[in-house]
Amino acid sequence: MFLALAIVASALCISSCGGSDKGVNNPSIRNIMNRKSVRSFKDQPIPQEKMEAMLKAAMAAPTGMNVQPWSFVIVTDKSNYDKIFEGNFNLKIFKSAAAVVAICADTTFKWTPKEGEDRTPVTLPNSIWRDDMGACTENFLLAAESMGLGAVWTACYPYLDRMEPVRSALGLPLNVVPYSLVAVGYPDGENQPKDKWKPERIHYEMW
Amino acid sequence: MFLALAIVASALCISSCGGSDKGVNNPSIRNIMNRKSVRSFKDQPIPQEKMEAMLKAAMAAPTGMNVQPWSFVIVTDKSNYDKIFEGNFNLKIFKSAAAVVAICADTTFKWTPKEGEDRTPVTLPNSIWRDDMGACTENFLLAAESMGLGAVWTACYPYLDRMEPVRSALGLPLNVVPYSLVAVGYPDGENQPKDKWKPERIHYEMW
């Protein structure tokens, strides 16, 4: 009977764990559905291994032509918060965050000729960096949610009044824009995800 | 002894399942790291509940001002593929896909006055719809990966030669752009995720 219990427990484990569970109610989908904006945080630092896991997730985003336009500036020194956020931000969001991560984008990419091709390498504008950055920021947020952290995505690009103070405070190069500012930390209080399911937004074969 | 086994099995389960596992190697992070572009598919349809789970995940993306600009056109009738993809696409990618999902964006939003405010509702351009759409597409891809499906994100916006055939074939309204085309199905063959980890892209406090 105890053996049976052990087997049932293991079977339950296999059917409900990531990797082996390919069903619609798997941990990854639950995590996506549970992600919410968190704007109030406990006074508790983020362990380095968790920060690194979020950055790894962010850098695993899909990226057009494999350009990987992203870079990250992690700000934890709160004496810098005011300077960075003097743009049109709601500073209260950031005040309690253990870290604010400026997710930045190189808006250019280096084109290099294929082997044997008689052309000169050149720096070109990238017309799809912004799409990569949306996916990158979302991966960061999902990784935070999965580790019991909370985060909120604040748009920086394309607002000049937000970008310029951030660019100057962080010393960003001219080809790099601050894309999003993500406040992250351990959530203070309960936050619930929004229900945004709208089946009327789905069309079959034609609009 | 068997009871002990049962307890250990359950404990292992709790520590390695989503929801209760807040560590850096949880199923959601593994899923993010395992997501890859899949361009070749088995001749096997996608169960409706899996398609719905991907759409639910997509609609759970963060969205600026809660605008939710997304809509979806699911194309499974392969006789329409040529017409839709006559733009500058690599049609081979799509030929074997069980479905091609056109993830579309309303580039405008309806602004409505707050209660008691004496102003007229108006339709305005949305300057951050593209960021929502990147997150939305990424959620769709992650949900696919988590259920044993494979997918590839093909950029449609901002390329006119891609958007116009798709818009016309799918009968999209004028305020709606086809943002991405996602081919999805059961993967044919093994696909590996790219290693894009670049610690040199991380800066602390300043660039």
Position B52 pLDDT exceeds 80: yes
- Mean pLDDT for chain A? 90
Is pLDDT above 60 for B146?
A: yes
Q: Which residue of A has its CA nearest to B145?
A: A22
Mean pLDDT of A132-159: 97
Cross-chain Cβ contact A18/B32 below 8 Å: no
Report the top-level CATH class of A47-111+122-189.
alpha beta
pTM: 0.91
Contacting residues of B for A198, CB less than 8 Å apart: 59, 68
CA distance A205 to A94: 44
State ipTM: 0.91
Sequence spans of domains, chain A:
47-111+122-189
Question: How confident is the model at residue B18, as a pLDDT?
Answer: 40
- Residue A157 pLDDT > 70: yes
Residue with tokens 């969001």: A93
In this predicted model, what pLDDT tens digit does every residue of A77-121 receive, in sequence order? 988 888 888 877 777 778 899 999 999 999 999 999 999 999 999
Q: What are phi and psi of A105, to 5 degrees?
A: -130, 135
pLDDT digits (tens, 9 = 90+) for B59-96: 999 999 999 999 999 999 988 888 888 877 777 778 89
> What is the pLDDT at residue B15?
42
Could you tell me the end-to-end alpha-carbon distance of chain A, in angstroms, rounded to an integer? 57
Which residue in B32, B65, B101, B184 has the most chain A C-beta atoms within 10 A of its own C-beta, making it the best mutation to test that interface? B32
Q: Is the bond into A193 cis (omega within 30 degrees of 0)?
A: no
Helix axis angle for B2-16 and A2-16, nearest 10°, is 10
In degrees and rounded to multiples of 5, residue B190 shows phi and psi of -95, 135
Backbone angles phi, psi at A202, to 5 degrees: -105, 130
Q: What is the pLDDT of residue B56?
A: 98
